[in-house]
Amino acid sequence: MSEQAFPTTIDLRKYIDRSKLGARPHIRGRRLPVSYLAADYHHNGWSVTRLAYEYTLSEAEVFAALLYYEEHKAEIDTQDAEEARLFDEMSSSQHDRD
């Protein structure tokens, strides 16, 4: 995990939207879920700079996504788990038909 410090204030509404992707929080103007950035940050150890580069975002957008994730972790993790469950269910159903 990166050792970069988070800014103390960010207007998250400027960077995070919930109007698309089934109300999953995502980067405003992009269909990029906050959880994708959080996973690469926490599980893959990517820095804010690398996340910004890889996803073609500003560092402010990355910081906002990571802060939003930390403030809504339980809700976002639940959404991700439900999406994975539905995907597995759909894949299993498709496999049974083949």
Q: What is the CATH number of the domain that holds 60?
A: 1.10.10.10
Residue 3 placed within a domain: no
> What pLDDT band is residue 34 in, cutting at 50, 70 and 90?
very high
Residue 75 placed within a domain: yes
Residue 78 placed within a domain: yes
- C-alpha 27/C-alpha 51 separation (Å) is 13
Residue 54 placed within a domain: yes
- C-alpha 22/C-alpha 83 separation (Å) is 10
Q: What is the mean pLDDT of residues 73-77?
A: 95
Q: Output the average pLDDT for the chain.
A: 88
Residue 68 placed within a domain: yes
Residue 50 placed within a domain: yes
Within 10 angstroms of residue 56's Cβ, the number of other Cβ atoms is 9
Q: Contacts by 29-32 with C-beta closer than 8 Å and gap 24+?
A: 30/57, 32/57
Domain that holds residue 27: 12-97
Residue 33 placed within a domain: yes
Report if pTM > 0.85. Answer: no
Q: Please state the domain count of the chain.
A: 1
Contact status, residue 48 vs residue 59, Cβ threshold 8 Å: yes
